[in-house]
Amino acid sequence: MNQHIADLIEKLHQLEQELDAAIALRRAELSFQFEQGRIKFEEAIIRRHQELKTKLWPYIRSARPLVVLSAPFIYALIIPLLILDLFVSVYQAVCFPIYKIEKVHRHDYISFDRHHLAYLNLVEKINCAFCSYANGLIGYTREIASLTEAYWCPIKHAKRLNGSHPRYKNFLDYGDAEAYATKVAGDQPPPPQA
């Protein structure tokens, strides 16, 4: 990788750290904290959340019929998602120790915390739980897949891809046969780093 690209990656890393700091400040503004692993809001905030909550029956009554009819298509995804979760978790449990890759922790990707929000009604909480699981599972799966790719085939594609994983930027350039030969000559690749 040339120095200009390495410098840009470092700038990107610094911007990510700035973003994390800005998000932490915003959390403080919203008056919630973590106490012993639980989310804690101030009493005045909880009361305000409850005032803003849409009651269940008006929420259901105001839903467009096509939105209601689309719900089974959304929730039917739970079956392939559960199967994906099972297969990816078994794959990681069997293969990662062989490859000497550190295991990915599900709890770093899948979080069910939105049910603590007093401004959500029951249907909104169920929807949030589904989305938390679906998107968290995809993130968990992507991390496992990206670690596998970094181990077996860390070569960039010829064309630019949208949404590439964080370690992709450190992959070998497409067409750089010398770098690949050097890597292969080193026998098994080392465990990939993020």
pLDDT above 70 (res 192): no
Q: Give 175's DSSP letter.
A: T
Task: Flag whether 46 is in a domain.
Answer: no
Task: Flag whether 54 is in a domain.
Answer: no
CA dihedral 23, 29, 30, 33 (to 10 degrees): 80
Task: Flag whether 138 is in a domain.
Answer: yes
pLDDT at 2: 76
CB proximity list for 88: less than 8 A, separation 6 or greater: 140, 141, 144
Cα gap 100→41, rounded to integer Å? 42
The domain tally of the chain equals: 1
Q: Which residue has the higher pLDDT, 94 or 45?
A: 94
Task: Flag whether 165 is in a domain.
Answer: yes
Q: State which amino acid sits at residue 117.
A: L
Q: Write out pLDDT tens, residues 50-101.
A: 888 889 888 888 999 999 999 999 999 999 999 999 999 999 999 999 999 9
Q: Write out pLDDT tens, residues 129-184.
A: 999 999 999 999 999 999 999 999 999 999 988 988 988 988 988 998 888 888 88
pLDDT above 70 (res 1): no
Task: Flag whether 137 is in a domain.
Answer: yes
pLDDT above 80 (res 33): no
3-class secondary structure, 62: helix
pLDDT at 24: 76
- Mutual orientation of helices 122-152 and 78-99 as an angle, nearest 10°? 30
172: which 2 tokens? 């070998």
Q: Write out pLDDT tens, residues 88-130.
A: 999 999 999 999 999 999 999 999 988 888 899 999 999 999 9
* Enclosing domain of residue 113: 64-185
189 pLDDT band, cuts 50/70/90, is: low
pTM: 0.76
pLDDT at 67: 92
Task: Flag whether 190 is in a domain.
Answer: no
Q: Give 33's DSSP letter.
A: E
pLDDT at 85: 98
Which one, of 109, 113, 126, lies nearest residue 165 by Cα? 109
39 pLDDT band, cuts 50/70/90, is: confident
pLDDT at 6: 78
Task: Flag whether 173 is in a domain.
Answer: yes
Task: Flag whether 53 is in a domain.
Answer: no
